[in-house]
């Protein structure tokens, strides 16, 4: 099987690495990829937001499967364009990707499916902010109502901060989504979905704040661990039965069946799981940890999802133990990150490139906010942490920072 992975981050690097372990995968391509993916796949330049450009590349490379990593191409219909050429695509149609692309659509689907989620309200006029602040919070949860790569969310007990974020969004011409605060630890559950068949992966937890102890602003994600030792037995089945299957069935009922990876972000409250958000693709950086434990061939699982034969896929096999991802971020991230600094020590297994480039002198340098994702695997969470942080010790990048407490609370 010849596979093309679309995207350029640590998630795509980890997907390619897991695909490279699948004997049925004979050729791997990435577009645009990154310096890390170039080691295990052939990188190709592409405008990943253009369905025609991606489909042309897939045809030229005669691939059997295109795996679309990020949400933006999915929301723009890149999977539809690939399928229109008769090539299998892993990833939902533009219509089904609205589960992530439009919060209003997601809320409507959840209401129809009877799935618990936060109350919400879209505010599109500065004059309405104060009344909305009175109705919601404290704690206030204020989101960018469009795709914002996780960075458009402010969760705060500080009314002035909440007000400022809402005002900033509106000034930028973006509606602000006010949500009621959902209590309880968060779980990311990724499910392969082909219409109504749902196959969950191992549950994971993301660490969104930049600093240790969940301090500082939200980021695209500073680390993750999997599985979750504190999650009650049966919780994954409960989430699949009460959240993911009803939503998948509702999408089928609306004529927009979901095919790909449906990511349920949940708060595990006293009353059971409630949905914080749905995403239409693998989560980043949880995927890097989850795939570190996968023993089944990933190519076969993605192809079965794309081809609508997920019901025939043998149960997924996982290695015992735990995995964690720690994100190494550039100086000043999540503000404007410093770029162009030399990186050394990054060429070992379990180190995934997220924001790197090769400079004119052929040196590996930083090129983004989240630069590397370092995955540790071990017989338990403590061992996985030891593995990841030992790798981080060997990586040098001036001014970089990382959280030292990924997975720590779960211990």
Q: Binding segment for ligand GLY among 59-67, 154-162, 228-236, 283-291 (CB under 6 A)?
A: 283-291
In total, the chain counts a number of residues equal to 411
**Shortest spacing between CB 323 and ligand GLY, in angstroms:** 15
Cα distance between residue 216 and residue 208, in whole Å: 10
Q: How far is CA 177 from the centre of its chain?
A: 21
Which one, 219 or 366, has the nearer CB to ligand GLY? Answer: 219
Which one, 276 or 346, has the nearer CB to ligand GLY? Answer: 276
CA distances from 263 to 29, 211, 379 (A): 24, 25, 26
Instruction: Report which of 83, 151, 160, 114 is spatially closest to residue 253, judged by C-alpha positions.
Output: 114
Q: Does 279 bind ligand GLY (CB under 6 A)?
A: yes
**Shortest spacing between CB 283 and ligand GLY, in angstroms:** 3
Secondary structure of residue 25 in the 3-state scheme: coil
β-pair partners for 141: 155, 179
Which one of 10, 150, 203, 299 is in contact with ligand GLY (CB under 6 A)? Answer: 150
Instruction: Report which of 108, 105, 85 is spatially closest to residue 94, judged by C-alpha positions.
Output: 105
Which one of 206, 250, 341, 387 is in contact with ligand GLY (CB under 6 A)? Answer: 206
Which one, 206 or 387, has the nearer CB to ligand GLY? Answer: 206
**Shortest spacing between CB 156 and ligand GLY, in angstroms:** 19
Residue 43 has a CB neighbour count (10 Å cut-off) of: 17
Which one, 101 or 283, has the nearer CB to ligand GLY? Answer: 283
Cα distance between residue 85 and residue 400, in whole Å: 44
Q: Binding segment for ligand GLY among 38-46, 115-123, 179-187, 280-288 (CB under 6 A)?
A: 280-288
Q: Does 284 bind ligand GLY (CB under 6 A)?
A: yes
**Shortest spacing between CB 188 and ligand GLY, in angstroms:** 6
Cα distance between residue 110 and residue 398, in whole Å: 45
Which one, 191 or 304, has the nearer CB to ligand GLY? Answer: 191
**Shortest spacing between CB 286 and ligand GLY, in angstroms:** 5
Question: Using CB under 6 A, which residues numbered 213 to 242 contact ligand GLY?
Answer: 221
Secondary structure of residue 155 in the 3-state scheme: strand
Q: Binding segment for ligand GLY among 228-236, 282-290, 310-318, 372-380 (CB under 6 A)?
A: 282-290
Q: Binding segment for ligand GLY among 137-145, 239-247, 281-289, 295-303 (CB under 6 A)?
A: 281-289
β-pair partners for 176: 123, 144
**Shortest spacing between CB 166 and ligand GLY, in angstroms:** 21
Q: In the chain, what are the helix, strand and coil shares in percent, each to the nearest 5?
A: 30, 30, 40
- Residue with nearest beta carbon to ligand GLY: 283
Cα distance between residue 40 and residue 195, in whole Å: 32
Which one, 283 or 407, has the nearer CB to ligand GLY? Answer: 283
Q: How far is CA 318 from the centre of its chain?
A: 20
CA angle 216, 272, 405 (to 5 degrees): 30
> Do residues 353 and 10 make contact, with C-beta atoms less than 8 angstroms apart?
yes
| End-to-end Cα distance, the chain | 40
**Shortest spacing between CB 296 and ligand GLY, in angstroms:** 22
**Shortest spacing between CB 287 and ligand GLY, in angstroms:** 8
Which one, 140 or 282, has the nearer CB to ligand GLY? Answer: 282
**Shortest spacing between CB 73 and ligand GLY, in angstroms:** 15
What phi-psi label fits residue 271: left (phi over 0), alpha (psi between -120 and 50 degrees) or beta?
A: alpha
Q: Binding segment for ligand GLY among 32-40, 119-127, 170-178, 276-284 (CB under 6 A)?
A: 276-284
Query: Helical H runs in 286-403?
Result: 286-291, 298-307, 381-393
Q: Binding segment for ligand GLY among 88-96, 137-145, 249-257, 278-286 (CB under 6 A)?
A: 278-286
Q: For binding to ligand GLY (CB under 6 A), which residues are involved? A: 150, 206, 221, 279, 283-284, 286
């Amino acid at each position: 099987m010849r596979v093309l992975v679309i995207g350029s981050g640590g998630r795509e690097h980890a997907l390619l690495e897991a695909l490279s372990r699948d004997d049925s995968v004979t050729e791997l391509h990435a577009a645009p990829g990154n310096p890390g993916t170039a080691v295990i796949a052939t990188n190709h330049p592409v405008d990943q937001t253009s369905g025609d450009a991606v489909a042309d590349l897939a045809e030229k490379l005669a691939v059997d499967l295109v795996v679309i990593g990020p949400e933006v191409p999915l929301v723009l219909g890149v999977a539809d364009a690939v399928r229109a050429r008769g090539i299998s695509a892993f990833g939902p149609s533009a219509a089904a990707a609205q589960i992530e692309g439009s919060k209003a659509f997601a809320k409507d689907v959840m209401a129809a499916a009877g799935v618990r989620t936060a109350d919400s309200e879209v505010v599109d006029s500065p004059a309405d902010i104060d009344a909305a602040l009175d109705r919601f919070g404290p704690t206030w949860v204020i989101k960018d109502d469009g795709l914002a790569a996780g960075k458009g969310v402010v969760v705060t007990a500080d009314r002035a901060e909440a007000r400022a974020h809402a005002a900033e969004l509106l000034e930028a011409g973006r509606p602000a989504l006010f949500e009621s605060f959902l209590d309880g630890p968060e779980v990311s559950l990724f499910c392969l979905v082909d219409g109504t068949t749902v196959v969950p992966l191992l549950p994971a937890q993301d660490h969104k704040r930049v600093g240790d102890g969940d301090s500082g602003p939200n980021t695209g994600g500073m680390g993750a661990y999997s599985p979750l030792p504190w999650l009650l037995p049966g919780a994954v089945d409960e989430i699949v039965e009460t959240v993911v299957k009803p939503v998948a069935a509702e999408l089928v009922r609306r004529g927009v069946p979901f095919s790909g990876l449906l990511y349920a972000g949940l708060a595990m409250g006293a009353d059971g799981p409630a949905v914080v958000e749905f995403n239409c693709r693998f989560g980043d950086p949880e995927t890097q940890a989850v795939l570190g434990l996968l023993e089944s061939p990933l190519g076969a699982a993605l192809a079965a999802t794309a081809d609508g034969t997920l019901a025939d896929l043998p149960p997924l096999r996982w290695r015992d133990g735990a995995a964690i991802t720690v994100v190494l971020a550039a100086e000043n991230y999540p503000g404007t990150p410093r770029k162009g600094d030399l990186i050394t020590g990054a060429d070992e297994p379990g180190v995934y490139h997220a924001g790197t480039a090769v400079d004119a002198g052929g040196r590996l340098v930083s090129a983004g906010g989240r630069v590397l994702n370092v995955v540790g695997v071990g017989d338990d969470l403590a061992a996985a942490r030891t593995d990841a942080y030992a790798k981080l010790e060997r990586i040098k990048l001036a001014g970089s920072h990382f959280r030292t407490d990924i997975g720590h609370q779960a211990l």
